[in-house]
Chains A and B, each alone.
Chain A
Amino acid sequence: MRATVFGATGVIGQALLPLLADENEVVAVSRGARAAEDGIRWVEADVAAGEGVAAALEGADVAYYLVHSLGARDFERQDRDAARSVSREASRAGVEQIVYLGGLGGDDPDASAHLRSRRETGEHLASDGVPVTTLRAAMVVGRGSAAFETILGLVKRLPVMITPSWVSTPTQPIALDDVARYLAGVAGNAAAIGEAFDAGGPEVMTYRQMIERIAVLLGKRPRIIEVPVLTPALSALWLELVTPVNASVARPLVEGLRNPTIAREERLRQLLPFELTPFDAAARQALEA
Chain B
Amino acid sequence: MSKHPLRAWETSERVLESGGFESRQRVVVTEPAVEPSDSGARWLGVTYWRSVAGFTRGVVRASWREGGGRLKLLGGANLLTFGPPAVAVDGDTVSCRYAIQGGLLALRPGGSVTLAQRAVGSEYELTVTVEEYLPTLAARAGAPWWTGALYAKGQSPFHAAVSRRYFELLVRGRAA
A interface list, Cβ under 8 A from B: 107-109, 165, 167-168, 170, 198, 200, 204, 206, 208-209, 212, 226-228, 260, 262-266
Contact = CB atoms under 8 A, between A and B. Distances in A.
A173 to B, nearest CB: 14
A138 to B, nearest CB: 12
Given A260-B46, A262-B43, A228 B61 contact: yes
B128 to A, nearest CB: 18
B63 to A, nearest CB: 4
B39 A228 contact: no
A255 to B, nearest CB: 15
Contacts of A167: 63
Contact of B173 (A107, A204, A226): A107
A266 B38 contact: yes
A265 B174 CA distance: 12
A260 B44 CA distance: 12
Interface of B, helix, strand, loop or mixed by DSSP:
mixed
Nearest to B45: A170
A204 B59 CA distance: 24
Interface in B36-73: 37-40, 42-43, 46, 50, 58, 61-66
Contact of B74 (A109, A228, A260, A265): A228
Given A108-B173, A168-B61, A262 B46 contact: yes
Given A198-B39, A204-B42, A264 B64 contact: no
Given A168-B61, A262-B39, A264-B40, A212 B66 contact: yes
- Top 4 nearest A-B pairs by Cβ distance? A168-B63, A107-B176, A263-B39, A228-B75
Given A198-B39, A263-B39, A265-B39, A226 B46 contact: no
Contacts, number: 61
A258 to B, nearest CB: 10
A266 B66 contact: no
Contacts of B58: 165, 228
B172 interface: yes
B65 A260 contact: no
B75 A262 contact: no
A281 to B, nearest CB: 17
Given A262-B39, A264-B35, A265-B39, 11 more contacts: A108-B173, A108-B176, A167-B63, A209-B64, A212-B66, A228-B74, A260-B46, A263-B39, A264-B34, A265-B37, A265-B40
B131 to A, nearest CB: 24
Contacts of A170: 42, 46, 64
Contacts of B64: 168, 170, 206, 208-209
Contacts of B50: 260
Contacts of B172: 109
A228 B132 CA distance: 31
Question: Which of A167, A198, A262 gathers most chain B CB within 10 Å?
Answer: A262
